[in-house]
Structure 1
Amino acid sequence: MSLTLPPSSPASITILGAGLMGRLLGVELARRGHRIELHDAAGPRAEGSAARVAAAMLAPLAESAVTEPGVVRMGQHALARWPGLIAQLPAPVYFQQEGTLILWHRQDASEAAWLARKLVQTQAAIPELPAPEAVDGARLAQLDPGMAGRFHQGLYLPGEGQLDNRQLLDALLQGLEQLGARLHWHSARTPADFRPGTPGQPDLLLDCRGLGARADWRVLRGVRGEVVRLHAPGVALARPTRLVHPRYPIYIAPKQDHVFVIGATEIESDDLSPASVRSTLELLSAAYAVHPGFAEARILELGTQCRPTLPDNLPAVRAVRPRVLEVNGLYRHGFMIAPALLDVVLELLEAGQSPLARRFDLRVEEAAPACTS
């Protein structure tokens, strides 16, 4: 691979896209002594990034119901990596690793039984994952007193976690500034604007633009998500909670200071208009069904964003042009898999190959060799 960084001298690296992936790569490469220049079509608050709206749950076993084993392995890798990555940042970031609760109402027991079987199968296939625990009402009350008397059975997935997405994005921005990265906001650039490796140009270009790269990734599509951020002082949940439902399963992610991020929707659309009344009613009704204390909550924000998604719903890394590496397709798993993708890219840049990519079943597409006659 023609992307390998020089072993001793620092390289000049331009990154397109300052969402989660672009900021992570920028901070880590700048920390290793490279000169970083970053361009983003929006502003420093990551307004154009799906990462700003996400719940930032780190739940590889829970997500195994809707994704492949390679993504689950990425998620398990990331759970071990996030504390170290966060510890190096100049501002605090809320991080919790107290597991996930999965709950259901009696009428949804058949869907819950299917999910339980799926999670047991996944854990057997990937034994480094902690085993799911079936819990009764007494154990639920012990795990999360806020659920006492409300549900009488559930699943507990130990070891899963979450973080505060907006604190992380802000801390990464501060890290980039302190490390001397040159940041260009409201600067929509494409790989065609650069000639890496030529005089006056960067040595390498990393394209992390998500949906902004659709002209280069023709198969990219947007998958719309809608979330509600609530302030609910009357609700005390100890960990992310998921509600099994045949039509709109939801998650509730408790953040600091009684702020909750509630979401569920996945709509095959790149529409970025405000949240619909139907989606909002469904989210709020389902949250109220989990805990009636949400009736007195205050709505802080109704957010919408589109996740960059490839046809198989899996991430990909491409090196199809000289000195250009593209990372895309993080779909709904951005925070859960970003550290794994970070480490894959670092391996590619430093060694020209990535054992981690093979472990994660992550495809790394390279340019076809030139034909010779």
Structure 2
Amino acid sequence: MQPLLSPSSSVTILGAGLLGSLLATSLARQGHRVQVFEAGGPDGVGSAAYVAAAMVAPLAESVVAEASIVRMGQHALARWPELIAPLPAPVYWQQNGTLIVWHRQDAGDAARLRGLFEHRQAEVAGLPAMQPLDAAGVAAADPALAGRFSQGLLLPGEGQIDNRQLFAALAQDMQQLGVAVHYDSPRELGDFRPGEAGQSDWLIDCRGLGARQQWQALRGVRGEVVRIHAPEVTLARPTRLVHPRYSIYVAPKENHVFVIGATEIESDDRSGMSVRSALELLSAAYTIHSGFAEARILELSTQCRPTLPDNLPGIRMPRPRVLQINGMYRHGFMQAPALHDVALQWLNQGQSPLAAQFDLALQGTAVT
């Protein structure tokens, strides 16, 4: 197969969200001329990834994700440190695992959850064995929870990244690499004719829900998170609470900042958080650690995540020299490194050996 990109190709990317920014920096570092058009501003607020808790938890998420997404998560655990390493600003990354806890009345739900984990571990090779914990084990895993829970599960090796630091570092990297980023500049596929005189050689569309006019199967799934500052809480790793209605997570960032989330609503509504969601998230966090009672609310955030009918990502070529990547749903930080690597393989080699590992197929027209 022949490479699709020639040396020093010109590439236009639509969308400076997580995947668009990663591809822009990688292509520029390879020597290509890159420009990016972003509908929002330079802070990344318009991106679903900006609001996310940014956890890379393949086993924890396996109960709501297909095996291919779990494999992407495994890939991401190895790739995120490599992707962060060349960035010009520090990005917080930890790989201390995920702790799952529950109250006694929810032991039945916890047992069912454990059974689902065991099934996925048998299905996907390489997932680390979960570690059942008694009260002493919970206290040893996280002293902040000593005496609060009598049972738990530790899922070793799972990670999380600081998404806000990542966006800032990627923006700085694009500037230093000479990527021309046009903020507050929404564009459509029809605005470009890649390959023609005066146009870029290739067009890559990473706009998420902004691409729905061309990818009509896309829908929005609303997520809501609370970002708080809790100086009295010292959780060492992402902690999830088993609950009959939802599985809440508390993801610690640096300097006692925590992201709390769980909600998932089939809706394109991007208005503010509902009172019910705020009450449920905050009250559940309080049951994990009473120190959250004195926390200060930094943000009540909502965002709609781009989702395809099967809840899996898609890569397609609607016409020659146009590559569209979309549908990362709620697992953007688990999928982005895999989609980034697959896209670069196709562009640089004309094929992607990685694609089969993640059940990805390039859909659409033949490459010209």
The farther-off stretch of 28-37 and 104-113 is 104-113
After the TM superposition, which parts of structure 1 deviate over 4 Å for at least 4 consecutive aligned residues? none
**Alignment partners' CA distance in 2, 1:261 and 1:169:** 17
Post-superposition Cα deviations, 1:145-172, rounded to whole Å, max 9, x if no partner, equal: 0010000101100000001000001100
SS at match of 1:280: helix
**Alignment partners' CA distance in 1, 2:52 and 2:215:** 23
Contact 1:248/1:282 (8 A) holds in 2 = no
AA of the residue aligned to 1:312 = D
Contact 2:320/2:367 (8 A) holds in 1 = no
Unaligned runs of 5+ residues in structure 1 are: none
Q: Offset of 1:177 from its aligned partner?
A: 0.3
Structure 1 residue 307 corresponds to structure 2 residue 297: no
**Alignment partners' CA distance in 2, 1:369 and 1:5:** 11
Which structure 2 residues correspond to residues 275-290 of structure 1 after superposition, within 5 A?
275-290=273-288
Contact 1:2/1:323 (8 A) holds in 2 = no
Match of 1:145 among 140, 143, 146: 143
SS at match of 2:40: coil
Q: Tell me the residue number matched to 1:211.
A: 209
Q: Offset of 1:369 from its aligned partner?
A: 9.9
Match of 2:117 among 105, 119, 140: 119
Q: Offset of 1:248 from its aligned partner?
A: 2.3
**Alignment partners' CA distance in 1, 2:20 and 2:367:** 28
SS at match of 1:183: strand
Contact 1:14/1:202 (8 A) holds in 2 = yes
Q: Tell me the residue number matched to 2:77.
A: 79
Post-superposition Cα deviations, 1:91-124, rounded to whole Å, max 9, x if no partner, equal: 0000000000011111111111111111112112
Q: Structure 1 336/172 Cα, relative in aligned 2: closer, same or farther at 3 Å? A: same
Q: Tell me the residue number matched to 1:363.
A: 361
**Alignment partners' CA distance in 2, 1:110 and 1:362:** 36
AA of the residue aligned to 1:195 = R
Q: Tell me the residue number matched to 1:4.
A: 4
Q: Offset of 1:352 from its aligned partner?
A: 1.4
**Alignment partners' CA distance in 1, 2:179 and 2:226:** 33
Match of 1:225 among 218, 223, 226: 223
Q: Tell me the residue number matched to 1:340.
A: 338
Q: Offset of 1:3 from its aligned partner?
A: 7.4
Contact 1:321/1:367 (8 A) holds in 2 = yes
What is the Cα-based RMSD across aligned positions, in Å? Answer: 1.4
SS at match of 1:169: helix
Q: Tell me the residue number matched to 2:48.
A: 50
AA of the residue aligned to 2:298 = L
Match of 1:108 among 94, 106, 127: 106
Q: Tell me the residue number matched to 2:39.
A: 41
Contact 1:3/1:204 (8 A) holds in 2 = no
Structure 1 residue 93 corresponds to structure 2 residue 91: yes
Q: Tell me the residue number matched to 2:328.
A: 330
Q: Offset of 1:127 from its aligned partner?
A: 2.6
Q: Tell me the residue number matched to 2:243.
A: 245
Contact 2:19/2:336 (8 A) holds in 1 = yes
Post-superposition Cα deviations, 1:185-217, rounded to whole Å, max 9, x if no partner, equal: 110001110000001000000000000000011
**Length-normalised TM-score, structure 1:** 0.97
**Alignment partners' CA distance in 2, 1:351 and 1:128:** 28
Q: Tell me the residue number matched to 1:59.
A: 57
Q: Offset of 1:368 from its aligned partner?
A: 6.9
SS at match of 1:325: strand
How many percent identity over aligned positions? 66
